[in-house]
Structure 1
Amino acid sequence: MGNPKPLFRDLNADDPEPETTEIESLCMNCHSNGITRILLTKIPFYKELVLMSFSCEECGYQNNEIQSGAAIAEKGVRFTLKVNTPRDLNRQVVKSDYTSIKIIELDFEVPAKSQKGEVTTIEGVIDRSVSALEQDQPARREQHPEVAVQIDKFINKLRYLKDLETSFTFVLEDISGNSFIENPNAPAIDEQCSVQYFIRNNEQNKELGILDTDEVKSKEENAILHSIPEGEFTLEDLEGEVLQFPTNCPNCGSACQTNMKMTNIPHFKEVVIMATNCDVCGSKTNEVKSGSGIEEKGLKIEVDINSKDDFSRDLLKSETCHLQIPQLQFEVGPNALGGRFTTVEGLIAAIKDQLGDHKQSLIFGDSSQPESKQRFEEFLKKLDNILEGNLAVTLILDDPAGNSYIQSLRDDNEPDDSLRITHYDRSVEQNEELGIADMKTENYESS
């Protein structure tokens, strides 16, 4: 039968077999039979998607819809974008069914589940909102003329937003975590857009069809109690055991196996290492999760990379850790690289590999600007210069949970001249991101 193909593949115009599924389905406009086409694909820098397109030959009705093909994200996500330029209006937006949209200056909100998921732009969101408000205006003008006049005024305000005489704030919030706003300056920092992840409450979990937190904990505790009798395994036994369980490939969605092992990092703490190998697409991933709880304070680690010794430092980037390279104006959140136990050199190489794998991404498609491609290529060259030792930079790990680590070159494990460690009280936003109820104000203290 030949080699199996990934379930979710990169969208490629040259793909001879895009594996589009066609289903005969009812047209909701004329009630004749039309055709729904379904395509499973991936958006680089984002995730797997299910694209659906319906068309009816009888009446010409068409409808496009997008749904996430990935599992519901562990956290919800909130994007806050300051729209200043026409380029901002043209930023591509991926929104799910559970996405709510706000325009702060107009006190305007599109509630979650009021629109289907779609791939659009900021301007497209405004146009769709205008069309929705205009739809019933003829009836309102006859039945409620005063209300119709007020809505006409508000529609004009929405249209004026596209003139950009003044900037406005666009907030996209998705409890499923499956939405996205394009960064036209990628891989550099997006100065106009902030991204915040948050822990869902029980009501939001129920809306997504997820068990309550208490129910999940109860099931997990019962499963552990039944599967591992008390006293049967010591910590040394667990550290020497490699556990294997079935999962899905994070790259193509195919069935595969994940190996999991607990180990101890000298001068630090226990961690859980998870390795997944996919025989279908060849993807290999290694992820590290903390074996302990959230620390009392957040942790910020800065290391100057000036020599080969600095490249060889052991490094643990936890799944809650933000990463920055100030000299390159580069910053990524915890979801970009996940948890990793590697070296400084290995982490920078992983950044380069991940960016290099997605050169033909959402922001570098047919509609991308030449300067964007050039900026991206220049960034990859700078990463090469760092790895070759020709460009000195500072690597910053900022972990609100305090579970990240960079090795010191001193025998007593105290910070050396190139290593700086700072402990700090978490901000309200960071506590929300970690799901902690006890909120503290941010206050940095050097260790």
Structure 2
Amino acid sequence: MSAIGTLDPVRGGGEATPALFRPLSAEDEEQLPTEIESLCMACHSNGVTRLLLTRIPFFKEIIVSSFACNRCGSTNSEIQSAGRIQDQGVCYMLTVRSKQDMNREVVKTDCATARVPELDFEIPAFSQKGALTTIEGLIERAIEGLKQDQPFRRETHPDVAEKIEEFICKLKRLKDVDSAFTFILDDPSGNSFVENPHAPQRDEALVVTHYRRTAQQAALLGIEAEESKEDLTDSVDDLRNEVLQFGTNCPECNAPASTNMKLVQIPHFKEVIIMATNCDACGHRTNEVKSGGAIEPLGTKITLHVTDPSDMTRDILKSETCRVEIPELEFELGMGALGGKFTTLEGLLKDIQTLVEKNPFTLGDSSTSDRAEKLCAFGRKLQQVVDGQLRIHFVLDDPAGNSYLQNVYAPEEDPEMQVEHYERQFEQNEELGLNDMKTEGYEADSSSQR
């Protein structure tokens, strides 16, 4: 496909308007692709590139491009994320045990790295265009790429060609899944995805990890590393009584918007920072909660036995490091999903229901009847919980200790709620970035440097 100019309407300071990215719909007659005459790199004649700017729930805005040459029949297609880079990178680790796992849908952006450690095989970042495919499709693309120059290698470097041919055979055996192997997709932009066919239930074969980008990864993405935050301890008293406001862009339509931020003291807990954004252009509203304190020495696990409809009115603070579990429904919401929330138990359950219903990889044309029925059944059970018809155990597991569930009997103990404090495991400290954090010996280091 010819090299056309990079389309990035999101980072243009509000250049993208809601009319540019229209929801994908067969009934929208105005949603037509833009056709651009382009040079075919195969036969050097003119072909046609079609661009479609659309919005889907998971990716926000994307650009779908397709090239076709009528003379030689060469075709090419790719997707580009037109939405914002996520706050954290994401790493998916999947244990592939069957051919059904090879059919899992995968969204791989051009900045993502795919690896198979058993073969010491890696598809580096920016070596392939973004694609919506399957695990088998990614391996097939790698095989085709290795085969491309094999005739030339056999004539000039037969030893190298023989080794590459042996490696291609190993990749082909991966598609047959003769033995289990590990597939890792690491995307510092946070915009890649690996399908969970068991949603909304937990996938035992898939591990999803969110992490902070390094300065090198931020530079590769073309963004500046985060600057150190100002010390707010000197002005805490003023901030408690003041609503701060700063400019930002709407996460839906990218129009200029304002975000309000305020420190709030939660009774019998700690201070938190509540941020709310309201877009006047498209009406989108969002809110997020950040912990106002440090990471606690111990993790916290809160278990509530929901026995009465009045439990739905309990205040709840779910930090971005908190996992949510409902054992009776075999449901688990991982760390980072839904972000930080300060709401009621009913509000959080409805947010979970909305998150499951709007997942495009479990609905639509690619969905099966069994999967759709499981989702409907899960939604009905959640609604029964909200209506007080189903008793469950609601679990908040926060290794950072910054989540909270209201005790309606405070300061006495709540007979239906159990609070456990536990020592974090090494993996949990790794996710929180604590293993490499040094907090002792600064005075000694500074004096020795003098």
Larger deviation, residues 309-318 vs 199-208? 199-208
Aligned-residue offset at 1:285: 1.5
Are 1:176 and 2:174 counterparts?
Answer: no
Instruction: Letter of the 2:321 partner, please give it.
Output: T
Instruction: Letter of the 2:79 partner, please give it.
Output: I
Verify the 8 A CA contact 2:309 2:387 in the aligned structure 1.
Answer: no
Partner SS, residue 336 of structure 1 = coil
2:377 maps to what in 1? 378
Q: CA RMSD in A?
A: 2.5
Are 1:433 and 2:401 counterparts?
Answer: no
Aligned-residue offset at 1:193: 0.6
Are 1:76 and 2:89 counterparts?
Answer: yes
Aligned-residue offset at 1:421: 1.8
Kindly, what percent of the aligned residue pairs are identical?
52
Aligned-residue offset at 1:27: 3.2
Instruction: Letter of the 1:264 partner, please give it.
Output: Q
CA distance in 2, matches of 1:237, 1:9: 43
CA distance in 1, matches of 2:284, 2:304: 30
Verify the 8 A CA contact 1:7 1:253 in the aligned structure 2.
Answer: no
Are 1:28 and 2:72 counterparts?
Answer: no
Verify the 8 A CA contact 1:21 1:37 in the aligned structure 2.
Answer: yes
Structure 1 unaligned segments of length 5 or more: list them: 441-447
Partner SS, residue 176 of structure 2 = coil
2:284 maps to what in 1? 283
Aligned-residue offset at 1:109: 1.5
CA distance in 2, matches of 1:382, 1:30: 58
Question: Could you tell me the TM-score, scaled by structure 2's length?
Answer: 0.86
Are 1:272 and 2:250 counterparts?
Answer: no
Aligned-residue offset at 1:316: 0.2
Aligned-residue offset at 1:122: 0.5
1:34-59 residue CA offsets vs partner (Å, 9 max, x unmatched): 43333233333454322222333444
1:350 maps to what in 2? 351
Shift in CA distance, 255/74, structure 1 to aligned 2, threshold 3 Å:
same
Aligned-residue offset at 1:369: 1.2
Aligned-residue offset at 1:419: 1.4
Aligned-residue offset at 1:439: 7.4
- Where do residues 265-344 of structure 1 align in structure 2 (5 Å cutoff)? 265-344=266-345
- Where do residues 46-445 of structure 1 align in structure 2 (5 Å cutoff)? 46-213=59-226, 216-217=227-228, 220-221=229-230, 235-356=236-357, 358=358, 361-412=360-411, 414=413, 416-438=414-436
1:50-79 residue CA offsets vs partner (Å, 9 max, x unmatched): 222233344433222222222222222111
CA distance in 2, matches of 1:350, 1:252: 21
Verify the 8 A CA contact 1:133 1:151 in the aligned structure 2.
Answer: yes
Verify the 8 A CA contact 1:23 1:37 in the aligned structure 2.
Answer: yes
Partner SS, residue 373 of structure 1 = helix
Verify the 8 A CA contact 1:22 1:37 in the aligned structure 2.
Answer: yes
Verify the 8 A CA contact 1:199 1:432 in the aligned structure 2.
Answer: no
Verify the 8 A CA contact 2:210 2:336 in the aligned structure 1.
Answer: no
Partner SS, residue 109 of structure 1 = strand
Verify the 8 A CA contact 2:59 2:83 in the aligned structure 1.
Answer: no
Count of equivalent residues = 422
CA distance in 2, matches of 1:84, 1:170: 11
CA distance in 2, matches of 1:13, 1:182: 24
Larger deviation, residues 122-131 vs 235-244? 235-244
1:444 maps to what in 2? none
Question: Could you tell me the TM-score, scaled by structure 1's length?
Answer: 0.87
CA distance in 2, matches of 1:189, 1:42: 27
Partner SS, residue 364 of structure 1 = coil
Aligned-residue offset at 1:248: 2.3
CA distance in 1, matches of 2:396, 2:257: 31
